Structure 1
Amino acid sequence: MQICVIGLGYIGLPTAAILASSGHKVVGVDVNQNVVDTINQGKIHIIESNLDILVKKVVEEQALKASLKPCPSDVFIVCVPTPFKAGYEPNLDYIKAAAKELARVLKKGDLVILESTSPVGTTQKLSKWLSEERKDLIFPHQDTKNSDIFIAYCPERVLPGKILEELVENDRIIGGITPQCTQKALELYRSFVKGKCLDTNAKTAEMVKLVENSSRDVQIAFANELSLLCDKADIDVYELIRLANHHPRVNILQPGCGVGGHCIAVDPWFLVYDFASEARLIKMAREVNDSKPLFVTQKIIHRAEVLKNKKIACLGLAFKPDIDDLRESPAVFIVSLLIQKGYEVAVVEPNIKELPQSLKEKCQLIALNEALKYENIALLVGHKEFKNLKLEDNEKILDFCGIEK
């Protein structure tokens, strides 16, 4: 099939590459000219295990090319960001913009799949937005049995660092606006997914993704709240959790600096926004995890005041270990807050070559051996490069991720 993947970020590019390696002809679309040029050179603009090798291969085989605009295709897969606005209102502007672009090249029989994490009902909205652009076509929300276009939702559920593997091996949830839409989408995913392809309707598929990430958020919030309790009680939270997890039916996660990434730090707010009266536990978990970076910042500042030293080295900037993704990263927030408070901050982040624009002129990116000369060091992300620091012998380092526990 001819497939058009719209959005070539952390999900879109791996998805496009996997599809291209599975026998499909793929055009990847992105609004960033640099991204398009980089991919067409057989290179990548993000860090993901083995993605560089796969992209180089499929570009050389002419199975994948990048473009600024969608082209006529059999399938369109939308993988654009879905952030939130002020007041945690979901921002669907990117999906709406993608709909407007792909509508221009839609033809009868085409399949449109939304993979972007979205509030319940977004797939239905996508169908309506497309119909506003193409009044000559019949869409599934208009006629459930005789639509010209098939529309479905299939959320990604992959782990950064293992995306290529999990795109193929993980089970997928596929929900169409109509049963015919679901079956059409199932055919596509069965062409490259080795895991189970589980069928449902669009609204349920949308809710599944939000619930999966909200469940993780609640579990992490419990661990982060335990770290606050233990700090007050002068108890090692990592030892506490290790001992508690010896219970055969207890599996507490590890606390950290908060929760980052575009999924777990964002998706629960979609449920809270739409179901304000019902999503009480989900909202409280979000508030606990969003407050953890403030707690970490206060601990770092307290150490700096005791030492009477305004210079601080922060180890790690990504939202989780061993990736380059800084989206919604607690570490970025902590560093920004320390700078706002007047501290001189240096950062070690082995997975990036330069600091994000928001930090570029306010702090410096340094090597680990240089950071270890600082009196006040905060370990914010458990990258593999930091695992041999012998923290028990290094009282200069405040460990907020339990790297040796």
Structure 2
Amino acid sequence: MVPESELKVAVIGLGYIGLPTAAVIARTGAMVLGVDVRDEVVETINSGRVHIEEIDLDGLVSGVVARGTLRASTRIEPSDIFVIAVPTPFHDDRTPDIGYVLQATTTVATVLKAGDTVILESTSPVGTTEKLAAFLAQLRPDLKVPGQCVGTPDIAIAYCPERVLPGRIVVELIDNDRCIGGVTARCGRKALHFYRRFVRGACVTTTARAAEMTKLVENAFRDVNIAFANELSIIAEGMGVDVWEVIGLANRHPRVNILQPGPGVGGHCIAVDPWFLVHGDPDNARLIRTAREVNDAKTDHVIARAEAMVAQAGSTPIACLGLAFKANIDDFRESPALKVAEHLARRFGSQIRIVEPHVATLPAGLTEAGATLVDIDTAIETCSAFIVLVDHEVFKSIPLGERADKHVYDTRGIWPDQPETAPPIRELHRSAA
């Protein structure tokens, strides 16, 4: 076994999960190599800076780079532990795409040696870790691969999904419980020993397939519950009832906890992972499929209402508040807010103003359509209507409730106590969403 002080770890993929994971591991004293295909990401990290916005990450990365325990490269090097944290998107037909996982596996195979451990963290369809093992056995027939050989394997392979909240990633990587699934029980124990270096939460071992499904179930559970709230918001709108008030009253019941509706569901996890379960058993994943369809349809509903609002405003500028998939971050992956804003920009062009305090420039699709990025003060001065798409903290301090001349369509309910100075506006533009 490699001494703790000499442990070498390679983290493949330096995105929203890979970089924080690499930095947290490096803080334990292990020598960590972060591997990414993007030259600009490697250069940024090696200069002690970060390319993503996440609380406390910049100081952490700066410190471990300065101490020499973290460095980045576009090329893999021999290590003792390999952590794969690459994207797992889906194809246009919503079937899983594990191509990045297999590419990372190919890269790891070039330097893999007896005694090493390979851990997949990417959210993946059930059975992916076993496919990774079978693929490694083909790439490296000189090594005994667990699940693919007779006798004691030369390496260990496990699956351990992240379960963190953007905006709290660094804290939750350490404090949250981890579910560690080994291809064999021995693989699980080796991975467990590694995670105990930096995880304060409970580390529970199981099979790789059970760990894979656990991650998908966690995200599908959230998706189903959000779908209930989003469907309820549309029903309440049709009945002329304020959905935010209804949810608040219903949640006073000791056994009711309805989530908050919004313009849809975003992020790389909740908006994607349930489809992996649907793909795995399409005949029985009926509720999960329906929840995905409800949440996607909510975005279409918001677009239709927003279009009507812009059309009513004539030629005056309209502000879209927020582009991220959730509050107080700069992550636009699968963001329903971005989809709404892009649709409006394509139709109304320069009439659309975007307020997104977490970025310095707009995505290319918005600028090409004619939308412009403005700060909140400029929006208040120049725009007659506001479409609230993200509940960033800064938006909650805007006194729009005091301005009868400002029309508001609030898809996030960030002004629950907004004065009814203009009842028709409240009914038309805020009653549901």
Q: TM-score range by the shorter chain?
A: over 0.9
Task: Kindly indicate whether residue 387 of structure 2 is the aligned counterpart of residue 378 of structure 1.
Answer: yes
Deviation at 1:310, TM superposition (A): 6.2
2:290 to 280, 284, 288: 284
Point out 4+ residue stretches in structure 1 off by more than 4 angstroms.
Answer: none
Q: Could you say which residue in structure 2 is the equivalent of 1:161? A: 167
**Secondary structure of 1:242's partner?**
helix
The residue that corresponds to 1:229 in the other structure is 235
- Provide, for residues 180-214 of structure 1, a one-character-per-residue CA deviation record: whole Å limited to 9, x for no partner: 10000000001110000011000000000000000
Contact 1:48 1:160 in 2 (8 A): yes
Counterpart residue type for residue 396 of structure 1: H
The yes-or-no answer on 1:138 pairing with 2:144 is yes
2:62 counterpart (56, 71, 83): 56
2:410 matches 1:399: yes
Q: CA deviation at 1:141?
A: 2.0
1:340 CA drift (Å): 2.9
SS at match of 1:151: strand
Aligned runs of 1:229-378 on 2, under 5 Å? 229-309=235-315, 311-343=317-349, 344-362=351-369, 363-372=371-380, 373-378=382-387
Query: Any conservation in 2 of the 1:144–1:178 contact (CA below 8 Å)?
Result: no
**Residue aligning to 2:95:** 89
Please list the CA deviations of residues 265-304 of structure 1 after superposition, one character each: whole Å capped at 9, or x if unmatched.
Answer: 0000111111100100000000011111111111111112
* Cα deviation code 1:113-157 (max 9, x no counterpart): 000000000001111121221111111121264111110000000
Q: Which amino acid aligns with 1:399?
A: D
Q: How does 1:104-253 map to 2 (within 5 A)?
A: 104-143=110-149, 145-253=151-259
C-alpha distance in 2, partners of 1:179/1:147? 12
Query: In 2, Cα distance between the equivalents of 1:39 and 1:307?
Result: 46
Q: Return 5+ residue gaps in structure 2 as ranges.
A: 1-6, 417-433
Please list every run of 5 or more consecutive structure 1 residues that lacks an aligned counterpart in the other structure: none
How far does residue 40 in structure 1 lie from its aligned partner after superposition?
Answer: 0.2
TM-score (normalised: structure 1): 0.98
Q: What value does the CA root-mean-square deviation take over the aligned residues?
A: 1.1
Per the alignment, do residues 144 and 341 of structure 1 end up closer, same or farther by CA in structure 2, a change over 3 Å counting? farther
Deviation at 1:17, TM superposition (A): 0.2
Q: Does the aligned pair in 1 maintain the 2:316–2:384 contact within 8 Å?
A: no
Identity %: 52
1:299-349 CA distance string (max 9 Å, x none): 111112223236321000000000000000001100111123334322110
Name the SS of the counterpart of 2:262 in structure 1. Answer: coil
Partner Cα distance (2:236, 2:401) in 1: 19
- 1:174·1:199 contact (CA, 8 Å) conserved in 2? yes
Paired with 2:187 and 2:412, the residues of 1 have a C-alpha distance of 44
- Alignment CA distance shift 1:276-1:310 (3 Å): farther
Query: What is the TM-score with the length of structure 2 in the denominator?
Result: 0.92
